[in-house]
A = this chain, B = another copy of it.
């Protein structure tokens, strides 16, 4: 559509500058000190939606951070696309590893460096600019609803309640989410699955106070040593998870599916080199793509205990802590795995210590049917703008609210992600390629057009 291309060419610099403004707001949902920034960010999202042509936008307060709902209804009899995204971001630390300020966006070599540039401000904002493109060129063929929340990075604790109590408001025909990656601009792909999550925190308590490691060392269990032994026991020599029941509900992929996955371009040496490791690691019997796609995993996200400052302190600490998360695949259930994890950690705790394990948050795995209308419209849209058929792939990340949306709204979800695995999501120097940002804005209107045509 030449009219879209023309409009976008004329306005591309403004599109980019608006995104940069959004990235300057430190909307870190996990940190209470950013509570006001979250409100500021929600208000900015509302303003941008109204400017883009939404005819109703509301900020809904929740028990946590506010949610922004917006809509452009052209005709209630036409199909409706519900766009989900999130304006909250991960904490920026470790700050010392950033080459520029995480909330002071830097453009370098065609990339936008900032926390949230890809996950997810840059990606949901493509939909805002796609809306603007269609409204301003008078070419909208679907109704569009936006549900942009502020708690995705902390497990969406209040979204469930909102969805359950606003089913009519959120009524739609498909849910479209850009919060995943594609292989590359040369090899477009669409995620057809996201993994579930079970994120817990473990506290191991040994003695009731920090002790002198000389006076008491060797006579009382050191909680760091015990925690290390517990963690070490969770993977066997084949890097298979040892927790009884953990794999019980894992859907086994067919040989055909595995053959298809093996066709996606993958260079192990390049992958290892990019990460700076001599050898890759993972569950024996599975390829790297399978390990991050069709297999569940158990990762240590953090560990701490005792003296961690400068120099040396001869302390035998009272407590040691770890943050542990499992990524889940169909048909594992988050609640069940959380229970299995917590019970297992308590069961393997030796009598010298007490172990407290608690849930941070969880989420269910989700699969998009590739014969659904939404998937087909997305594939055709990408075909149009990339001149290549996108490859369906299984993503490693999690979007915990997918299962909730499907259950409560009865809708299928399509993941049309324009990020790259190398975008340093959740890491220092998060980036988003400007070209990918523009490609997303270019592609999205085609999705709406094809989805309307297929309906």
Which residues of A approach B to under 8 Å, CB–CB?
30-32, 90-91, 93-94, 97, 153-155, 181, 195, 197, 199, 201, 206-222, 224-225, 227-229, 231-235, 271, 275-283, 288, 291-292, 295, 297, 299-317, 320-323, 325, 327, 351-353, 360-361, 395-398, 421, 424-429
Contacts and interface: CB of A to CB of B under 8 A. Distances in A.
Contacts of A292: 214-219
A207 B279 CA distance: 10
Given A227-B228, A308-B321, A291 B97 contact: no
A321 B421 CA distance: 26
B224 A303 contact: yes
A222 B304 contact: no
B276 A208 contact: yes
A310 B225 contact: no
A416 to B, nearest CB: 17
Contact of A352 (B195, B231, B279, B295): B279
A233 B233 CA distance: 11
A314 B352 contact: no
A221 B281 contact: yes
Per CB-CB distance, the 10 closest pairs between chain A and chain B, nearest first, are A208-B276, A214-B397, A218-B297, A232-B232, A30-B311, A302-B306, A224-B300, A221-B281, A228-B231, A210-B427
Given A214-B395, A215-B396, A217-B292, 19 more contacts: A30-B309, A197-B214, A199-B312, A208-B276, A210-B424, A213-B297, A214-B398, A215-B292, A220-B277, A224-B231, A224-B302, A225-B299, A228-B303, A299-B314, A299-B316, A301-B312, A302-B305, A302-B315, A312-B361
Contacts of A97: 209-210
B397 A312 contact: no
Given A278-B352, A310-B31, A312-B361, A427 B212 contact: yes
A225 B279 CA distance: 16
A47 B275 CA distance: 58
A32 B311 CA distance: 10
A311 B32 CA distance: 10
Contacts of A90: 313-315
Given A219-B280, A220-B277, A221-B281, A213 B312 contact: no
Contacts of A154: 311-312
Contacts of A351: 278-279
Contact of A93 (B181, B309, B397): B309
A86 to B, nearest CB: 14
A275 B208 contact: yes
A303 B277 contact: no
Nearest to A274: B208
A225 B235 contact: yes
A298 to B, nearest CB: 8
A360 B313 CA distance: 10
Contacts of A300: 222, 224-225, 228, 305-306
